Amino acid sequence: MAARTGGSFFQRYLLPSFALKGVIIGGGYATGRELAEYFLSQGPRGALAAMVLATVIWSAVAATSFALAHMYRTYDYRSFVSKLLGRASIIFEVCFVLFSVLLLAVFGAAAGEVGASLFDVPALVGTVVLALLIAGIAGVGEGAVEAMFKYVSTFLYAIYTIFLVLSLSRFGERIEHGLGMAGADAAWPLAGLTYGTYNIVAAVMILPVLRHMTSRRNAVVAGLVAGPMAMLPAFAFLLAMIGFYPDILSATLPSDYILQRLESPAFRFAFQTMVFGALLESGVGVIHAINERAVAWRESREGAGQVSSAFRPVLTLTILVVCMFVANQIGLVDLIASGYRIMAFVFILSFVVPLMTIGLYRLVKGTAHPEHDHA
């Protein structure tokens, strides 16, 4: 599908950041559990150092991915990895599909728990509501997806800002004490590298929102900005968690651990609502990536004609039913989850390493399409 030109400032520079954060947060740090595992386990200072390293990795990979996608005009993950890996791209795609099934199933289960917590309803209700919202947004197409990232992200950043302000005002001395503890664990570089590399596969999930890019410089800047923007909510969360180090390391849900100590039922409701919004962002991001890959395949197979208006909604509902309901019933989620670390390792070898070697070399040596390469 051809790239668009003349996108707004938001579409060119902020939308990719919002989309990247949206895909990462729901399957990553929304509950705080990943932040405890990969960052705070290295000590407060090690946690901050590891987070900086992960942010640098996200920016570098995003900038390279965005620039390469712009150069090749590849705005779905299949076309992109095919250009990068050739026939070996099938390895990436198999893992990507399995990973997507796992993520969507996890999002559905998490939404069920959030719904039960907020409204005392059966978990199935939250899962169904999330599935319907994802289907409604992703099924409509690109415009609805972009609007969702814009408004949900604004709400999310606002909630994390309030969360940080409340934490500093109530636990400021505890946070200061935590930051003053002994130096970082020696393993913090490995923790930052691991977290930074396996999460950044999200960069290929958000390629459809890059069609507004108007130059390679535009793409690079958007990628560099995406790293810090995607990590900002995690930084606010981590800072609050440092106030309860080391006890919070054993908490199943660090977010709830802190929310209980803030003693604000209204904010707890707002935060849980934000978590549901984060799950919506992530689910839409995954589904939109699959939809655009399917649309590109269908249009290339059938010629220049566009797919019917029913194609996206039907495909979206089919995927959601299989992933959120059927996969759990037949035990597929547990099977895929057992191979999660292997998949993460394959993503590093089949995406991050080739991108930062072969892809970077092609960017340096290659040329973009000059007729589109304006500021």
pLDDT, mean of residues 92-108: 87
- Cα–Cα distance for residue pair 314/40, rounded to 1 Å: 43
| Model confidence at 84: pLDDT above 50 | yes
pLDDT, mean of residues 305-312: 72
252-278: pLDDT as tens digits: 888 889 999 999 999 999 999 999 999
Q: Could you tell me if 235 and 51 are in contact, meaning their C-beta atoms sit under 8 angstroms apart?
A: yes
pLDDT at 312: 80
Superfamily of domain 9-365: Amino acid/polyamine transporter I (1.20.1740.10)
pLDDT at 368: 45
| Model confidence at 302: pLDDT above 60 | no
| Model confidence at 28: pLDDT above 80 | no
| Model confidence at 371: pLDDT above 70 | no
pLDDT, mean of residues 323-342: 72
Number of alpha carbons in the 13 Å side-chain half-sphere of residue 140: 13
pLDDT at 374: 43
Q: Could you tell me if 16 and 62 are in contact, meaning their C-beta atoms sit under 8 angstroms apart?
A: yes
For Cα atoms 268, 269, 272, give the angle at the middle one, nearest 5 degrees. 85
pLDDT, mean of residues 291-312: 72
140-179: pLDDT as tens digits: 888 899 999 999 999 999 999 999 999 999 999 999 999 8
Mean pLDDT check: name the lowest of 102-111, 176-185, 278-287, 351-360.
176-185
| Model confidence at 1: pLDDT above 50 | no
pLDDT, mean of residues 128-135: 92
> Would you list the domain boundaries of the chain?
9-365
Rg, the chain, Cα only: 20
Task: Residue 225: name the closest of 59, 50, 31 by CA.
Answer: 59
pLDDT at 137: 92
Kindly report the average pLDDT of the chain as a whole number. Answer: 87
| Model confidence at 50: pLDDT above 50 | yes
| pTM summary value | 0.87
Residue 236 to residues 18, 233, 341: CA-CA distances in angstroms? Answer: 16, 5, 27
